[in-house]
Amino acid sequence: MNVPPPRTARGGHPRDVLFTGEKPFPALPAVDHYAGAEKLLRKALALQQELGPVFDITGDCEDGAPIGGEAGHAAMVAALIASPDNRHGRIGARIHDITHPHWRRDLEILLAGAGAQLAFITLPKTRGAAEAAAQIAALRELEARHGLAAPIPVHVLIETHGALREVWQIAALPGVESLDFGLMDFVSAHRGAIPGAAMNSPGQFEHPLIVRAKTEIAAAALANGLVPSHNVSTLIDDEKAIASDARRARREFGYLRMWSIHPAQIRPILTAMQPDQQETEDAAAILIAAQNASWGPIQRHGRLHDRASYRYCWTLLERARNTGMPLPNEAVQHFFAPPR
Cβ distance 121 to 106 under 8 Å? no
Contacts for 272-277: CB closer than 8 Å, 24+ residues apart: 272/242, 272/243, 272/244, 272/245, 272/246, 272/247, 273/30, 273/31, 273/246, 273/247, 273/319, 273/323, 274/30, 274/319, 274/320, 274/323, 274/324, 274/325, 275/316, 275/319, 275/320, 275/323, 275/325, 277/325
Q: Determine phi and psi for 299, rounding to 5 degrees.
A: -115, 140
Extents of the domains making up the chain: 14-20+276-335, 31-273
Cβ distance 248 to 258 under 8 Å? no
Task: Return d(Cα 305, Cα 39) in angstroms, integer.
Answer: 51
Answer whether residue 62 shows pLDDT above 70.
yes
Mean pLDDT computed over 124-141: 98
Task: Return d(Cα 18, Cα 311) in angstroms, integer.
Answer: 6
Answer whether residue 290 shows pLDDT above 60.
yes
Residue 112 carries which side chain, given as an amino acid letter?
A
**For the whole model, what pTM was predicted?**
0.92
- CA angle, 176 then 129 then 125, to 5°: 85
Answer whether residue 3 shows pLDDT above 80.
no
Instruction: Give 322 or 137, the one with higher predicted confidence.
Output: 137
Q: Encode pLDDT of 220-238 as tens digits.
A: 999 999 999 999 999 998 9
DSSP state of 325: -
Task: Return d(Cα 31, Cα 35) in angstroms, integer.
Answer: 13
Q: Which of 3.20.20.140, 3.20.20.70, 3.30.200.20, 3.20.20.60 is the CATH number of 31-273?
A: 3.20.20.60
User: Which pLDDT score is estimated for 284?
Assistant: 96
User: Which pLDDT score is estimated for 339?
Assistant: 64
Answer whether residue 4 shows pLDDT above 50.
no
10 to 4, 6, 184, 288: CA distances (angstroms): 15, 9, 49, 9
User: Which pLDDT score is estimated for 334?
Assistant: 87
Task: Return d(Cα 155, Cα 198) in angstroms, integer.
Answer: 24
Beta-bridged to residue 126, according to DSSP, are: none
Which residues, 6+ apart, have CB-to-CB distance to 249 below 8 Å? 214, 230, 255, 258
CB atoms within 10 A of CB 13: 18
Cβ distance 138 to 108 under 8 Å? no
Strands 257-260 vs 91-94: parallel, antiparallel or unpaired: unpaired
Average confidence score pLDDT of the chain: 94
User: Which pLDDT score is estimated for 283?
Assistant: 96
User: Which pLDDT score is estimated for 20?
Assistant: 86
User: Which pLDDT score is estimated for 115?
Assistant: 96
User: Which pLDDT score is estimated for 22?
Assistant: 86
User: Which pLDDT score is estimated for 340?
Assistant: 60
Which range has the worst mean pLDDT, 4-8, 22-26, 264-268? 4-8
User: Which pLDDT score is estimated for 5?
Assistant: 46
Greatest mean pLDDT range, 172-181, 231-240, 316-325 = 172-181
CA-based torsion, 275, 222, 220, 97: positive or negative? positive
**Residue 326, preceding bond cis, omega within 30 degrees?**
no
Grade residue 18 by pLDDT with cuts at 50, 70 and 90.
very high
Mean pLDDT computed over 186-202: 96
Task: Return d(Cα 53, Cα 29) in angstroms, integer.
Answer: 7
User: Which pLDDT score is estimated for 10?
Assistant: 58
User: Which pLDDT score is estimated for 8?
Assistant: 41
Q: Encode pLDDT of 88-103 as tens digits.
A: 999 999 999 999 999 9
Percent of the chain with pLDDT over 90: 89
Answer whether residue 50 shows pLDDT above 90.
yes
Q: Which of 182, 154, 177, 157 is nearest to 167 (CA)?
A: 157
User: Which pLDDT score is estimated for 267?
Assistant: 95
